[in-house]
């Protein structure tokens, strides 16, 4: 209520989470030569309802043309603008184990506006090793990296070390963290953490799987 319509600048988090999906779909359409697209088409391509698509897109501004649809290229441009893809974001990965190496080798980030600029590990035996064209460096290099523009840190260390690594990232000045360790991180205000937890995802699947097996003797209520 009283905390007013500065909502103008505040795109809902759920919408933000869907924007990359729209963007990906748009790139696909652009690739196959489609120049104009309706909210219905975009909805079909991303698996959401067209009304939601329109409401989401209207958060960015009025970039559609009634009776016609959206210009694929222009809409893609506006979304990437909203997402901050105006330039590449430098990313550092901390923890060069199984997962860290897979991430380092992944070529898909580059096309989404991210550049992996550093691979860090505590283990001195790894320092100097080349992985995917980058040399593994000590975690103490973080402050230097931040001065060079590092903005996003990825934590791929064991859970025990995750809070420590997080603290180092924050101390160095990183304010956006993607955490793969299955643990909750405590960070100061202003730092955004997102967590990817594969075990949790599997557990959610197991929940639904179990529900299917166990016949719903009670009222129907077969989940959505």
Partner DNA sequence: ACGTCCTTGTGAAGAGATGCACAAAGTCAC
Partner DNA sequence: GTGACTTTGTGCATCTCTTCACAAGGACGT
User: Rule CB under 7 A: which residues touch DNA?
Assistant: 1, 3, 12-15, 37-40, 48-52, 54-55, 57-58, 62-70
Q: What angle do CA 142, 153, 184 make, to 5 degrees?
A: 115
Least distance from ligand NAD to the Cβ atom of residue 170, Å: 14
Task: Say whether residue 64 binds ligand NAD (CB under 6 A).
Answer: no
Q: Which does 54 bind (CB under 5 to 8 A by kind): its own copies, ligand NAD, DNA, none?
A: DNA
96: partner contacted, choices ligand NAD, its own copies, DNA, none (Cβ within 5-8 A by kind): ligand NAD
Q: Which of 170, 166, 167, 168 is nearest to 155 (CA)?
A: 166
Residue number, 50 or 161, with CB nearest to DNA: 50
CA distances from 200 to 7, 51, 161, 172, 212 (A): 32, 31, 19, 30, 19
Q: Is 202 in the site for its own copies (CB under 8 A)?
A: yes
Helices (H), 47-158: 50-58, 72-82, 98-105, 142-147
Q: Two tokens at 46?
A: 């991303």
Give the whole-angstrom CA distance, residue 96 versus residue 156. 7
Q: 120 with 142: CB under 8 angstroms?
A: yes
For residue 73, state whether it binds its own copies (rule: CB under 8 A): no
50 binds, among its own copies, ligand NAD, DNA, none (CB under 5 to 8 A by kind): DNA
Residue 207 touches its own copies, criterion: CB under 8 A: yes
- Tell me whether residue 113 or residue 143 sits nearer to its own copies (CB atom): 113
| Smallest distance, its own copies to C-beta of residue 151, A | 5
| Contacts of its own copies in 155-194 (CB under 8 A) | 175-178, 182-184, 186, 190, 192, 194
Residue 110 CA to residue 55 CA, distance in Å, equals: 29
Site for ligand NAD in 164-193 (CB under 6 A): 164-165, 180-182
Q: Nearest-CA neighbor of 103 among 131, 136, 63, 68?
A: 131
What are the respective helix, strand and coil percentages of the chain, to the nearest 5?
45, 15, 35
- Please give the residue ranges that form the binding site for ligand NAD (CB under 6 A): 94-100, 102-103, 106, 108, 121-123, 139, 156-159, 161, 164-165, 180-182, 198
């Amino acid at each position: 209520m009283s905390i007013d319509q500065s909502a103008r600048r505040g795109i809902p988090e759920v919408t933000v989470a869907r924007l990359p999906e729209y963007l990906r779909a748009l790139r696909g359409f652009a690739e196959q030569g489609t120049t104009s697209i309706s909210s219905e088409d975009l909805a079909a391509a991303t698996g959401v309802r067209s009304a939601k698509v329109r409401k989401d897109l209207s958060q960015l501004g009025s970039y559609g043309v009634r009776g016609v649809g959206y210009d694929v290229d222009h809409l893609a441009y506006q979304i990437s603008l909203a997402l901050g893809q105006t330039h590449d974001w430098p990313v550092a990965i901390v923890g060069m184990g199984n997962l860290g190496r897979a991430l380092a080798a992944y070529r898909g980030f580059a096309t989404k506006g991210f550049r992996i600029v550093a691979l860090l590990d505590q283990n001195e035996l790894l320092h100097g090793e080349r992985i995917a064209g980058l040399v593994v460096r000590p975690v103490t290099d973080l402050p230097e990296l931040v001065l060079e523009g590092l903005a996003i840190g990825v934590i791929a260390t064991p859970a025990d070390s995750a809070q420590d690594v997080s603290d180092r990232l924050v101390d160095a000045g990183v304010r956006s963290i993607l955490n793969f360790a299955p643990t909750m991180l405590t960070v100061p205000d202003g730092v955004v953490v997102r967590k990817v937890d594969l075990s949790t995802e599997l557990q959610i699947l197991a929940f639904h799987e179990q529900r299917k097996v166990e016949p719903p003797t009670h009222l129907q209520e077969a989940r959505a």
